[in-house]
Amino acid sequence: MRALVRWFQKIAPRWVFLSVYGVFASVKNAYNLLIRYGLLRSCFAGVAVDASGSAIPWFSHPSIEYLEGLDLSALSVLEFGAGSSTLYWSRRAKSVLAIEHNPEWADRITPRLGTKMLWGCLAGVFGLGIVALPECIYKLIRMVI
């Protein structure tokens, strides 16, 4: 592919090369975002998912790629606000405690979380303070604002 680009760069006028190369780069970037990263699938699903349909947090894709390279299996996660990121952490971390203020959302998300949840989602605790967290050191704390 690089040889083809170099060949075209030699034979084509500069403005033609830059125009064609710009269109090619745009198409390649659109393909990467929509297909490879799963943005198109996220749009149709209405939730953040990767290309395989697994839930991912609403982070930038480079941030998610960075997290994928880390071993988080020994971490306990405390998360304020449950959702796609909670599903992501439940796959990657040792345990997850999600504190959610919306009882309907908590009921909807809890069955999808699996066995790594400490309590599921605690509804209605924002503004009241956290009472009796399990004795555990949380190395990853995420708050949704």
Please write the tens of the pLDDT for every residue from 102-123. 778 777 777 777 666 655 455 5
Lowest mean pLDDT among 22-26, 88-92, 101-105: 101-105
Tell me the one-letter amino acid at 122.
Answer: L
42 sits in the region (left: phi over 0; alpha: psi -120 to 50; else beta) called alpha
Domain residue ranges in the chain: 2-36, 72-143
- The counts of H helices and E strands in the chain are 6, 4
38-77 pLDDT, tens digit each: 889 988 888 888 888 888 888 888 888 898 899 988 888 8
Exposed (0-12), middle (13-18) or buried (19+): which is 66, by Cβ within 10 Å? exposed
Which pair of structure tokens corresponds to residue 123?
A: 């509804």
